[in-house]
Structure 1
Amino acid sequence: MLFTQFLYNLYLFSNSKMSERLILTVENEVEIETQDDLREGMEDLQLQAAENGVGTLIGARRFQPHGIDVSQIEGVGEIIEDRPQYYDAFRTIFSGHLAQSTHLAYDWILGPFRIFCHANDFEYPLFSSRAALQFLGWSVLQEKGFSWFKKMKPALASLETSLGRSESQIPPTISAGCSAMMRKLAAKKPPPKKCVPFGEPELRTLINAIVWEPKARGQNPSPTEFRALLRIVTYFFTWSRYSDYSLLTEADIEDRGDHIRINFVRTKQDQFYQGTKSYLPLVGGKFCPVTLYRLYAQQFHFNFGPQGSRMKYLNFMVYNCNGIIKPKYHKSLSYGAAMNGMKEILAKYGIRKAYTENSFKAGGVTAYIENGNSLEATMIHGRWRGLQTPLYYLRGTDQYRLNLARNIPKISDAQFEI
């Protein structure tokens, strides 16, 4: 088949994660017959990054984070110039020294910065302090937003980290200027919207539809739907977040008969990264979280406890084997795929509010406090260090607020007053 320029550009753009201003062009069309031909053709193609009229010819295999080449890393260029055979070795070493999430977080700033440097005759990526400061002024003239100025210095620092710079060229005025702009822009920001709480009725609806209705038909729950449900149940009862849950393996879950203990190996609330623990009590019935965990272990062959594997994730990925969905236990599902899956099952079962990941936590915290528990108890169960955090997730109902109002001291016992 003919691999057109449009499709190839689209494929490269989706995989490069570069700035929207990066234009990729194909030198020639390639006749593709098999996937091996495609892979071989990709290696042979040359890409031209046309940035504001300035192009740099690079090989398809030689893309570097933030648009730099390994020869531009401090100390490496001299070695490669003297010993060219070391090029691939150094490229292998440094190509992944920053996490992909770091590149994605900063490329939306560094892409325009690269274009800005070329357009104003500044060197890139070995930028000067003058280039950084002038870019700050340009950002103000372009009326960039709060997030831009919040990320600007970390983005430039990330570029310097990639270059291995021994001395930073980011002047102190960058921090001062960005802070000043954030203060001005913060006054204009609309107040953040609080998430819609995911309540007990919605949770019961999901548990019935995903687990008990298939069981009544003599079937197992769908692997992808049961996986999403267990994640939601854990959010609701433990008030954890995705980064906590995605690391859980069967070794982190202990079934102790009358309760399940979950060892979160790393959480945002745990400043020393020594692990925090949450507990799910056995309350009985089909909506009991312990019952759901046991069914999950039974269906997917989890061996909870210290004897379990550290490479068998609760939040496993799946693959299609001859039309049958099977777990890929050693890989944890990505955040984006997890959120898409969650939205799909909510829509499928008629739950159509604008729920986010925090909605499940907010629903659990609200139910806990409305059940009569104090803020101190909520703070301890949520593994938080302050009393203000539970209030952030509390979405008190009208009835709950009315019950609080009934405790206002009465100033009169008279039945009728004139």
Structure 2
Amino acid sequence: MTAVTKVPIPLDQRLSAFVRGPLVGLVWLATAALCVALLRDRPVALEHRAWVPPVEYEVSTPSSGVLGVVLVRAFQEVRKGELVAQLDPRPLEARLATANAEVLSLRAQIADARELADAEQQQAESLAAQEATSDADSLRMRMEGDLLRSSFDESDLRLGVLELEVQLASDEVGADLLQAQHLRASRLAEDGTGWEAEAADLALELRQAEERNRGTAARLSGQREELLQAVERTAEIRRGFPAATGAMDLPRIPAATRALEAAIRVQELVIAELELERDALNLQAPIDGQVSALYVGEGQSLMAGRAVMLVTASAAREAVVFVDPEVASGESLVGRSVELRAGERRSLETKIASLSPKTELLPERLWPHPASPAYGLALRVPMGESGMFMPGEILRARILPSEN
């Protein structure tokens, strides 16, 4: 049998075979070991369910009344401060008319009391002149008359101010109603369901009413200035009375006059209350947004605090991320960065502001199955003024690794 002779393999062939065979496996093994070493303690960013909760406000009535007019429709966009509804102003107008009649009655009583006081003063001065009284007594009588007349002037001016205040409040109620009617007519005209001529007529009436109110307000301002001057004159006479006459006591104001002054103060309080009620007739949108629901209709009687409509904000400033309680058990998540994402192009990185103390029921839209409620810890995440996500939108959230 012939012996087999081993032929030596050149070194370069051995190296080439090693590179193509075992070396490749060693490289892959080393790479895998390095990856395991690098990622062993690295936290994994998990995706969580999140959404942008809608911010909703109820527009309610501050006082009882009948809903006169609703100026918006469901799903209509509104601006903050926009007039959206108005209570029926007729009961308030009736009370304002009653207050005005009471003011006129008080003014008539003031005029009667003034005439009676003037007659008594003239009679006293005539008797004093006939009896040749001293100069001090004559001076006292004259100052008593001056003080009484100044008091009447002050009361009359105060009633004049009240009369103008009632008139202005009543006219402003009418102007508010005209404004509501004009706004409604303008919107109907824009939609093609109303007449432009009607809106133009109401606009003219509104401008005239506003002009009248400005005139009344100017007269009221002037009347108030005169009232302040009259009050100062009365006070000056009161201060100078003892010094000029040598008397220790002030002249006695008749009981009828004191009763009138008390009645005037009562009417001042009544008119101030009516002005507050006038402001409560107009219901305004609390935020920029959309009318989500209308709860009542025109002509319905409402109790104070009854919700008339629901307004949803057009922009949201906060998102809620729901995480498993085990995720938050290891370390505090407050202050950690989180990435919010909707679709592939819209994303926002922000920080966690707060964490709910206990698990909460997720909104039904975030349940994995309609019949399987889901629970989690709620993380409040501010979004600032970005306006990137819409209220009610469902998001994906990733809690980013801590910088530490």
Using structure 2 for the length normalisation, give the TM-score: 0.21
Using structure 1 for the length normalisation, give the TM-score: 0.20
Whose radius of gyration is greater, 1 or 2?
Answer: 2
The structure whose residues are more often strand, as a share, is 2
Structure number with greater CO (CA < 8 Å, separation at least 6) is 2
